[in-house]
Amino acid sequence: MAKKIKIFIDPGHGGSDPGAVANGLREKDLTLAIAKALKKYLEQFEGIDVRLSREDDRFLSLAERTRLANEWGADIFISIHINAGGGTGFETFVFTNASSKSVAYQNVIHEEIMKVMGVTDRGKKRANFAVLRTSRMPAILTENLFIDRASDAAKLKDPTFISYVAKGHGEGIVKVFGLKRKSGAASKPTASKPVVKPTPNKTTTSQPKQSKSGDQVVRAIQAFVNNYGFGIAVDGIAGPQTMRALIRVLQTELNKQFGRGLVIDGIFGSRTRAALINLRAGASGNLTRVLQALLHIKGFNPGPFDGVFGDMTTAAVRSFQRARRLSVDGIAGPQTWGALLG
């Protein structure tokens, strides 16, 4: 008898850890609903075993989730999450130093999910998430819409949409492993049609939507960095030139305020990383403006671009930290700066 393919599904959060909470929804409930629907969908296919890290509302540490998968000898690890931070759309992650097989699986699964969900494509990304780092098999983490965006939350409240999120994941896994449907198994989920229609517009970053004249806050950011004599185009487009200029401003201010002795080269290297400071509520000045600029470019609203680390900037830092699975303390420390600049 041929060895069965082992598929491990990890519904994010659970128990005392609700995950992101907004619009009357809890991430832990949505991830479990998607995971259960995905398991049911996959059971239509031959030659597989499917296991969930949790099948009810219980807490599991990140280490426990991957331990279960590793000890079982899973062939793939799929961790399901719902995003937060005010953006919209779908994205996937593999580990920063992912294997070629993980990347290949990500490419297939990402595309199949997008075909079914038909939402904004935020791209295929890499991150140093614990469940990706400690899994011994190809591992992918999916972020399925934004719980704190009203239009996304409305979709997530619809069981029909949840069934299609599950189907998208399932179709990706089926394609990766070349699975064959069992004789007599249904070919579609119980829902009769998807809630949303595919959109031709795809974005691979979380940058704010731009008007014909570009994003107006980005134009203000570009004018700000040009006060340092960098002379970049004020076009409202937050491209590599703008990011490099912001790093140069950061380096300039670290030298000016803290005597770091950095080369002003716009490269976020080890020396600049080591020179970073903790920036927290109550701070004001140009370092806070750099922080607000980076948050805005990443799609998190820090409030006015005014250099004041107030309540809105704190909330944006917390949302960013939560979305990137960092310690949620509202303080821009080295990890948060690194995630914003990386």
CA-to-CA separations, 332 to 6, 49, 52, 176, in angstroms, rounded: 40, 43, 35, 39
Write out pLDDT tens, residues 249-274.
Answer: 999 999 888 899 999 999 998 999 99
Task: Mean pLDDT check: name the lowest of 8-12, 92-96, 185-189, 331-335.
Answer: 185-189
Question: Does residue 67 sit within a domain?
Answer: yes
pLDDT of residue 303: 84
| Residues 142, 255 within the same domain | no
Residue 70 has pLDDT above 90, yes or no: yes
Distance CA 268, CA 285 (A): 21
Distance CA 332, CA 213 (A): 31
Reported as half-sphere exposure (CB side, CA atoms, 13 A), residue 164 has a value of 21
Question: Does residue 146 sit within a domain?
Answer: yes
Question: Does residue 324 sit within a domain?
Answer: yes
| Cα Rg of the chain (Å, integer) | 21
Question: Does residue 196 sit within a domain?
Answer: no
Question: Does residue 141 sit within a domain?
Answer: yes
Name the catalytic one among 27, 91, 112, 143. Answer: 143
- pLDDT, averaged across the chain: 87
For the chain, what is the domain count? 2
CB 288 within 8 A of CB 316: no
Question: Does residue 147 sit within a domain?
Answer: yes
Q: What percent of the chain has pLDDT over 90?
A: 62
Question: Does residue 277 sit within a domain?
Answer: yes
Residue 204 pLDDT grade (very low, low, confident, very high; cuts 50, 70, 90): very low
pTM of the model: 0.57
pLDDT of residue 239: 84
Question: Does residue 191 sit within a domain?
Answer: no
| Residues 239, 100 within the same domain | no
Distance CA 119, CA 160 (A): 15
pLDDT of residue 201: 34
Which of the listed residues 124, 147, 177 is the one where a domain comes to its end?
Answer: 177
The CATH number assigned to the domain holding 292 equals 1.10.101.10
| Residues 35, 98 within the same domain | yes
| Residues 132, 241 within the same domain | no
| Residues 13, 69 within the same domain | yes
| Residues 80, 150 within the same domain | yes
pLDDT of residue 1: 60
For 259, the token pair is 């005597």
Boundaries of domain holding 278: 216-341
Q: What is the mean pLDDT of residues 144-169?
A: 92
| Residues 64, 121 within the same domain | yes
| Residues 312, 171 within the same domain | no
| Residues 305, 162 within the same domain | no
Q: Work out whether the CA dihedral 250, 253, 258, 262 comes out positive or negative.
A: positive
Q: What is the mean pLDDT of residues 28-42?
A: 97
Task: Mean pLDDT check: name the lowest of 69-73, 207-211, 232-236.
Answer: 207-211
CA-to-CA separations, 296 to 113, 156, 309, in angstroms, rounded: 27, 25, 14
Tell which residue, 297, 302, 313, has the closest CA to residue 242: 297
Look up 55 and say whether it is catalytic. Answer: no
Write out pLDDT tens, residues 83-95.
Answer: 998 788 999 999 9
Distance CA 74, CA 66 (A): 10
3-state secondary structure of 280: coil
| Residues 26, 125 within the same domain | yes
The CATH number assigned to the domain holding 104 equals 3.40.630.40
CA-to-CA separations, 179 to 30, 114, 116, 126, 140, in angstroms, rounded: 26, 20, 18, 27, 19
